[in-house]
Amino acid sequence: SVGNRNLRIKPSELAGVAFIAAGFWAWSEKGVLLDLTKVTQLHGFDPVWLVLVVGGVTFILGFAGCVGALRENICLLKFFSGVIGFIFFLELTAAVLAVVFQSQVREWINEFFLANVKAYRDDIDLQNLIDSLQRMNHCCGAQEPSDWDLNVYFSCNETHRSRERCGVPFSCCISDPADSVVNTQCGYDVRNKPRREWTDHIYVKGCIAALEDWLPGNLYTVAIVFIVISVLQVQILNISVLILHLYSLGTGTSFQNVLNFKV
């Protein structure tokens, strides 16, 4: 019977465990596990949180769906169906709100980016995330390179003595294809130069504007990805609800029963 089947670790559960392990490893490298107060001390966004949340949700859903189906556990299956439906509802709501309130969303993204600019040196993972974003999109700051004046290390404040004063991170620099080694000091003092000379050394477009330029040209790709994910979620939800209904009828959950079932 279904209830006597051996439980096996599923890929989704392995993926969840891998994400969680990677998240805790990253925290251990930063000393967070030795001093948990560091979790609340970061003023910007810690990417490790995203890894842990994705890993946790993936593992819990994989476990609930697998064990619920194999052991005919109605509570786990209802939990699985409810979470999948809730996630789908959140995604749909977020998409609608993003379209209806575009200006507010843009302002929120701008404030979020500026907050992380301030915290750029506070966390190595956040620093790598911002550097990757700026290098991939050929942008600098949220709206312009001057946004980096918000960061204490890059501020042009006269009393500030950092070597990075009035500069920008190296990820803002226009790289030379001939250079085999990244020059991490290329952004030093660049904002001390006249603005007309900035374009010779760094990207002057803000990352929000770069994102807005990227989105129209990739709208179909984004739409297709969103539709595929939505269809998969709806199908998973339908199958889980169908299995619950089959249990209520006492017909079991063999693959053939699922295929032969008609509403």
* 80 close to 240: Cβ distance less than 8 angstroms: yes
Low-confidence ranges of the chain (pLDDT < 50): 1-5, 255-256, 258-259, 261-263
pLDDT the model gives residue 182: 83
* 57 close to 89: Cβ distance less than 8 angstroms: no
> Please, where are the H alpha helices in the chain?
11-29, 38-41, 47-70, 74-100, 102-118, 124-137, 207-217, 219-249, 255-260
Rounded to two decimals, what is the model's pTM?
0.69
pLDDT the model gives residue 2: 41
Q: Is 2 helix (H, G, I), strand (E, B) or coil?
A: helix
* 195 close to 166: Cβ distance less than 8 angstroms: no
- CB half-sphere exposure, 84, CA atoms < 13 A: 23
User: In DSSP terms, which residues pair with 202 in a beta bridge?
Assistant: 173
> What's the distance, CA 153 to chain centroid?
26
* 121 close to 111: Cβ distance less than 8 angstroms: no
pLDDT tens figures, 60-92: 888 888 887 777 778 888 888 888 889 889 988
pLDDT the model gives residue 130: 93
**Angle between helix 102-118 and 207-217 (nearest 10):** 140
pLDDT the model gives residue 94: 87
Instruction: Work out the burial of residue 231: count CB atoms within 10 Å of its CB; fewer than 13 is exposed, 13-18 middle, 19 or more buried.
Output: exposed
Measured at the CA of 261, the angle between CA 255 and CA 263, to 5 degrees, comes to 150
Tokens linked to 228 = 């595929």
Instruction: Work out the burial of residue 223: count CB atoms within 10 Å of its CB; fewer than 13 is exposed, 13-18 middle, 19 or more buried.
Output: exposed
Domains of the chain: 8-100+218-260 (no CATH), 104-215 (1.10.1450.10)
pLDDT the model gives residue 191: 93
Q: How far apart are the C-alpha atoms of 207 and 217, rounded to whole Å?
A: 16
pLDDT the model gives residue 262: 47
* 177 close to 167: Cβ distance less than 8 angstroms: no
* 190 close to 198: Cβ distance less than 8 angstroms: yes
pLDDT tens figures, 215-226: 887 878 888 888
Rg (CA), the chain: 24
